[in-house]
Amino acid sequence: RIAYVDPIDIRFNRFDPRPLPNASAVMFCLMDVSGSMGEREKDLAKRFFVLLHLFLKRRYERTEVVFIRHTHEAQEVDEETFFHCTQSGGTVVSTALDEMRRVIEERYPANEWNIYAAQASDGDNFATDSERCIALLDGALMRLCQYFAYVEIIDERESHIFGATENGTSLWRAYSVVAQKWPNFQMTRIATPADIYPVFRQLFARQPAARKSA
């Protein structure tokens, strides 16, 4: 449990993604686990994931969580491995999105599950991969998801530099394109534990619309 969060307060009447008429939801947690994501970054990511999970557990009778970690390749893992194991290698974010799509196709048909995703990264990505991320989100995943939240974890000293949403990494700029088209895609930056709960409330107060039909 996150010490400064009262779980009872995770009731946002303004958040209405129009869930499917069933009681099942799956939450995909996606995270970069390359060397640039240290313990501080992973701790901030975990706090955000926990809040989203608490919210979904109060909204649905059945909630499952899928953990997908990635460097230059992605794999589904258990919770312990997800949060506590670091891998070497570069960062190719699209591999995590590919793995998410594969898992959805195999186990979570969108007509039976309310699909949510939360992705945490420090913004690092292979130079030419961000365009593929746009293609995967725009071409497939956003039509399947009720809601997709991207959290970019930055250094406290960077919070002033990157205060404007038009500034940032190639991944941030790519995701900004997705956010402009899909109201159920939201993105923000966090630098300290104190940022997380206000940011969470802000994200979920934006009333993302229902996913678009194919």
Q: How far apart are CA 208 and CA 121, in angstroms?
A: 22
Residue 159 CB-density burial (10 A; 0-12 exposed, 13-18 middle, 19+ buried):
middle
Q: Do residues 167 and 130 make contact, with C-beta atoms less than 8 angstroms apart?
A: no
Spatial neighbors of 13 by CB under 8 A, at least 6 apart, are none
Six-digit token pair at 25? Answer: 């939801």
Query: Cα 37 from chain centroid?
Result: 15
Residue 130 has pLDDT above 70, yes or no: yes
DSSP letter string, 45-77: HHHHHHHHHHHHHHH-SEEEEEEEEESSSEEEE
11-25, 121-135, 179-193: least confidently modelled range: 11-25
pLDDT score recorded for residue 200? 74
Q: Which two tokens stand for residue 143?
A: 């039509």
Q: Which of 19-23, 51-55, 156-160, 207-211 has the highest mean pLDDT?
A: 51-55
Of 180, 178, 182, give the one whose Cα is nearest residue 212.
182
**How many C-beta atoms lie closer than 10 Å to residue 40's C-beta?**
13
0.75 exceeded by pTM: yes
pLDDT number for residue 84: 82
pLDDT range class, residue 180, cuts 50, 70, 90 = very high
> Does residue 142 surpass a pLDDT of 60?
yes
The answer to whether domain 20-204 has CATH 3.40.50.410 is yes
- pLDDT band for position 2 (50/70/90)? very low
CA distances from 64 to 15, 52, 87 (A): 20, 12, 25
